[in-house]
Structure 1
Amino acid sequence: MAARQDRRSWRDVLEEIRNRVLTGRYGPGDKLPRDEDIAAELGCARSTVQRAMRDLADRGVVERRRKGGTRVRPDPVTRAVFDIPVARNEVESRGGSYGYQLIRAAIEETPPPVAAALDMRAPLPMLHVEALHLMNSRPFLYEDRWVLTRTVPEIETVDLGVVSANEWLLANKPYSRCDLRFSAETAGDRVAAIMGLEGGEALFVIERTTWSGDDPITTVKAVYAPGYHLRAEI
C-alpha cells in the first residue's frame, strides 16, 4: 500500500481536482469529498491531497474551512501563480548557457524609496548588490538588490562573486510574504551601458520584495534584456 501512495505527486492531485472543476463534475458551491477519501481514491497520502488543496485555495478555485470541509468557490477566481525564478535555472530552461558577473556589493545607507518598499520605519545600513546574469555570454538580467543584513546576517559571509544573491537567498532564506510589481521602463544611460544597449530601449522590469514574518529580507529590481517574455501558471 505504501508504494501505491507514492505514485501521485501533489501536482498530479491538483490537476485532477482542477480538471473535475473545469468539466463540471464539481460545480460552483459543491462540497468536495474528504481529503482522506480523495487520497484513497487517487492512491496517495492524505498530506499530498492537503498540499494540493492548499494550492487550489491560493489560486481561488476552492475554499477551505475548519470543520466545514472544502467547497468549490461559487465565484471561482483565476489567479496567476508566479514562482520567484533562480536566474541560472531560468536561463538553462531556455536552452542557454548561464553566466554571472558581480558588479558591486557594499554596505550602504538605505535610500528612502527602498526603505518604503520594505515597510521600514527608518533607514538602516543594508547590503547593496548589483549583478549581471548572462545567457550565452550576453546580458540577460540586470539585478539591483538591497538585503537587510539584520534579517540575513549569514549573507555577509557569502562570496557573491561566485554565487549570486538571487540564488543564495532562494536556497537559504525562506520568505513568508512577497510583493511583486511589473512594469516597463526606458533604459537609462547606466543600465544601457551595463547591458550593452542603446539608450531609450524599452525593458521589462520586475520589482520584488520579500519578508520573513514582519522582518524585511530583500527588495530587488530585476531588469530584463529586450525580447524577454514572462510565463505564468494559471
Structure 2
Amino acid sequence: MIQSARLSWKEVRDQIKSGILDRTYAPGDKLPRDADIADQLGCARSTVQRAMRDLSDAGLVERKRKGGTHVRMDPVTRATVDIPITRLEVEKRGSVYGYHLITQDLVRIPPEIAGKFEQTEPTDMMRVRAVHLADHKPHIYEDRWISTDTVPEILKVDLARESANEWLVRNKPYTRCDLRFYAISATAETADILDSEKGSALLVIERTTWVGTAPITLVKAYASPGYELLTSN
C-alpha cells in the first residue's frame, strides 16, 4: 500500500482490495488493525472502518469483534442490481416512455404469494397489473402485489398516472430484497400483453422486498423478447 493523504474510503477500499487480489493478503490471512492501516495511509480510522465494511459486504473479508479482520477463505463475488425506475431506463436508451394500468384490485393473496412473503396466513393486498412501453411498444409487463398494511399510502396514489414501480422506488426504501431471474414460455395472456408469440421465451425478474420483517411488494416483471439487463461492480 502506498501512503497518501486524505484518501476517501473508496480509495482505501481499493488499495486493500488490490492487496487481496494480488495475494499480498492470501485467503485466511489476518489484515492489519484498522488503526495501523490508518497510520500507514495517513487517513482517519473511521475511513478505514467504512472501507472494511464495504469489503465485508462484498464478501471479501470477515470481521469479528476482538478477532480482527481476515481475508475470507471462500470469498464471495456479488453483483449488485439496483431496482430500476423503468421510465428512466427507457428514456436513458433514447426511447419514448409510455405506461398503461391494466387492473388494480384489493384481493386475498394466493398461498404461493403468501409463501414468498414468508407469511403463514393469507391477507388482503393490492394487486396491480401494468405495462411499460418503449416507443409505443410493450417493454415490461408487471404483475405486482403491494402490502397495504406496510404501505397504506399507496391507497392514495393514482396508479393510472404514476407507476407503482416509480412510486415505491422513490418513497418506500427497503431493508431486504430477494431477487430471482428465470425464463418462461409466454402464455396466451402474457403474449397478448407483450405483443409477442405464444410460447416465445420471456425473461422474468421477480423481486420481493421487506422493511424489517414487514413485506412491501412482490413483483414479477415480464420483459419483452430482446430485453437486456446489465450489472457491474
Identify the TM-score tier after normalising by the shorter chain.
0.7 to 0.9
Aligned to 1:202: 201
Structure 2 residue aligned with 1:70? 69
Q: 1:17 to 1:87 in 2, by over 3 A?
A: farther
Q: Is the partner of 1:25 in helix, strand or coil?
A: coil
Q: Give the equivalent residue in structure 1 for 2:99.
A: 100
Quote how far apart the aligned CAs of 1:108 are.
1.3
- 2:210 counterpart letter in structure 1: W
* 1:216 CA drift (Å): 1.1
Is residue 116 of structure 1 aligned with residue 115 of structure 2? yes
Q: Equivalent residue for 1:180?
A: 179
Shift of 1:101: 2.0
Matches within 5 A, 1:154-233: 154-233=153-232
Q: How many residues align?
A: 229
SS in 2 for 1:84: coil
Deviates further, 176-185 or 140-149: 176-185
Distance 1:39 1:127 in 2: 51
Mapped partners of 1:163, 1:181: distance in 2? 25
**Aligned-residue offset at 1:40:** 6.2
Task: Give the 3 Å change call, closer, same or farther, for CA 130–48 of structure 1 in structure 2.
Answer: farther
1:177·1:213 contact (CA, 8 Å) conserved in 2?
yes
Q: Is the 8 A contact 2:38 2:45 kept in 1?
A: yes
Instruction: Go from structure 1 to structure 2 and tell me whether the alpha carbon gap of 1:136 and 1:38 turns closer, same or farther (over 3 Å shift).
Output: farther
Q: Distance in 1 between matches of 2:90 and 2:40?
A: 39
Percent of pairs with identical residues: 56
Task: State the TM-score, normalized to the length of structure 2.
Answer: 0.85
Please list every run of 5 or more consecutive structure 2 residues that lacks an aligned counterpart in the other structure: none
**For residue 197 of structure 1, what is the amino acid of its counterpart?**
S
Consecutive unaligned residues in structure 1, runs of 5 or more: none
Is this contact kept in 1: 2:183–2:201, CA < 8 A?
yes
Distance of 1:149 and 1:195 partners within structure 2: 28
Q: Call closer, same or farther: CA 1:34–1:120 in 2, change over 3 Å.
A: same
- Does the 8 Å contact 1:59/1:81 carry over to 2? no
Q: Which amino acid aligns with 1:184?
A: A
Deviations 1:55-90 (A, max 9, x none): 322222111112223221122222332222222233
CA distance in 2, matches of 1:41, 1:228: 48
**Within the alignment, does 1:141 sit opposite 2:123 as a pair?**
no
Name which one, 1 or 2, has greater alpha-carbon Rg. 2
SS at match of 2:73: coil
Relative to the length of structure 1, the TM-score reads 0.85
Kept after mapping to 1: 8 A contact 2:196/2:225:
no
Task: Quote the RMSD (CA, aligned, Å).
Answer: 2.4
Mapped pair 1:79 → 2:78: yes
